[in-house]
């Protein structure tokens, strides 16, 4: 496709960024907690060639009806999401904001096999792809994968206007084969426990219910967590909600004086501990226990954090009624 649109001459770089499922550790990253995602072989591919002028020409195989998106490296408009290409432009913007010289344009073709709206972090994968392409094509060798993950989160929040945590970008940038990623979003320390499931398999079910990030809902959850943290800090020395142990949460939850804030904080605190315990179960090859923690996570997302939907709840209930599902 690249050859057909832009010709075959010149130095053409090819790149890939994976999608990610989050195994457990949901909504803990922006609350200073532990996460446990992994990368998979579904993802987004890109072919890119630098130009001698400042023009950008981009084409997506998945959104071919939009044709070639044209712009310049200087015509960048934060908080105005024009099309899929905004995610690539967001990375150009954040690179330049961080002092990295992106001083010429490029031709780009991207395409991937992530089901649209499948909640597998396609936007983070696209931003990660953009970050790796910019680093490698512009010879910015001092930029690490962790740096790109951090810049991807900034691009998502400050350019796109979607205030997510670091987990999606970190998983896309740091995933390796046959391992999940166990990391602490507060310290950015990470490790790769072997992801060995014995006779079990990880199954990702595509519900075909399109996941459209609800900016208002996520903003509301973050605001609720921020209010809970502010109230707790009057009596408890913490910097993040995930600094609380379960016992300390149960001791001090009445300080919140709001049933909604209690529910949100309970999810965050218990989910952080579930993630720690789930990784310990996996290290001990206790796959049944690991599955039980994942199921408890889903129930907490449904009842305390209230971010699931009827169709997903139905799929989970149906799955749990089937012999062999852990």
Residue 242: CB partners within 8 Å, gap ≥ 6? 28, 31, 32, 33, 34, 186, 268, 269, 272
- Given a contact cutoff of 8 angstroms between Cβ atoms, the answer to whether 32 and 228 are in contact is no
Q: CA-to-CA distance for 282 and 326, rounded, in angstroms?
A: 13
Of 94, 73, 225, nearest to 149 by C-alpha is 94
Query: Of residues 29, 168, 184, 304, which has the active-site annotation?
Result: 168
Residue 6: CB partners within 8 Å, gap ≥ 6? 49, 57, 107, 109
Q: Is 107 noted as a catalytic residue in this protein? A: no
DSSP assignments along 143-184, one per residue:
--HHHHHHHHHHIIIIII-----SHHHHHHHH--TTBB-EEE
- Given a contact cutoff of 8 angstroms between Cβ atoms, the answer to whether 129 and 46 are in contact is yes
Number of Cβ within a 10 Å radius of residue 73 = 20
- Given a contact cutoff of 8 angstroms between Cβ atoms, the answer to whether 155 and 93 are in contact is yes
Q: CA-to-CA distance for 26 and 297, rounded, in angstroms?
A: 8
Q: CA-to-CA distance for 45 and 61, rounded, in angstroms?
A: 10
Both tokens of 102, joined, read 């992106």
Both tokens of 111, joined, read 């395409």
Residues designated as active site: 168
């Amino acid at each position: 496709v690249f050859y057909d649109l832009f010709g075959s001459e010149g130095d053409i770089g090819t790149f890939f960024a994976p999608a990610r499922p989050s195994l457990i550790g949901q909504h803990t990253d922006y609350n200073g907690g532990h996460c446990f995602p992994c990368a998979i072989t579904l993802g987004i591919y890109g072919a890119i060639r630098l130009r001698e002028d400042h023009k950008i020409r981009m084409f997506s195989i998945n959104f071919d009806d939009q044709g070639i998106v044209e712009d310049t490296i200087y015509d960048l408009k934060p908080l105005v999401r024009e099309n899929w290409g905004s995610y690539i432009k967001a990375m150009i913007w954040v690179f330049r904001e961080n002092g990295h010289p992106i001083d010429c344009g490029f031709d780009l073709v991207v395409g991937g096999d992530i089901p649209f709206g499948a909640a597998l972090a396609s936007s983070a994968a696209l931003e990660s792809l953009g970050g790796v392409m910019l680093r490698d094509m512009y010879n910015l060798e001092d930029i690490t994968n962790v740096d790109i993950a951090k810049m991807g989160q900034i691009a998502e929040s400050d350019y796109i206007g979607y205030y997510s945590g670091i987990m999606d970008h970190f998983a896309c940038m740091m995933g390796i084969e046959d391992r999940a990623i166990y990391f602490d979003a507060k310290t950015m320390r990470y490790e790769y426990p072997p992801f060995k499931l014995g006779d079990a398999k990880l199954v990702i079910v595509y519900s075909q219910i399109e996941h459209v990030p609800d900016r208002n809902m996520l903003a509301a959850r973050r605001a609720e967590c921020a209010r809970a943290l502010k109230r707790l800090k009057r009596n408890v020395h913490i910097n993040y909600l995930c600094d609380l142990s379960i016992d300390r949460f149960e001791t001090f939850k009445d300080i919140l004086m709001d049933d909604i804030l209690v529910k949100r904080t309970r999810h965050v605190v218990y989910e952080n501990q579930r993630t720690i315990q789930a990784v310990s179960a996996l290290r001990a090859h206790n796959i049944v226990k690991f599955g039980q923690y994942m199921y408890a996570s889903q129930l907490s997302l449904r009842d305390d954090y209230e971010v699931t939907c009827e169709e997903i709840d139905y799929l989970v209930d149906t799955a749990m009624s089937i012999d062999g599902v852990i």
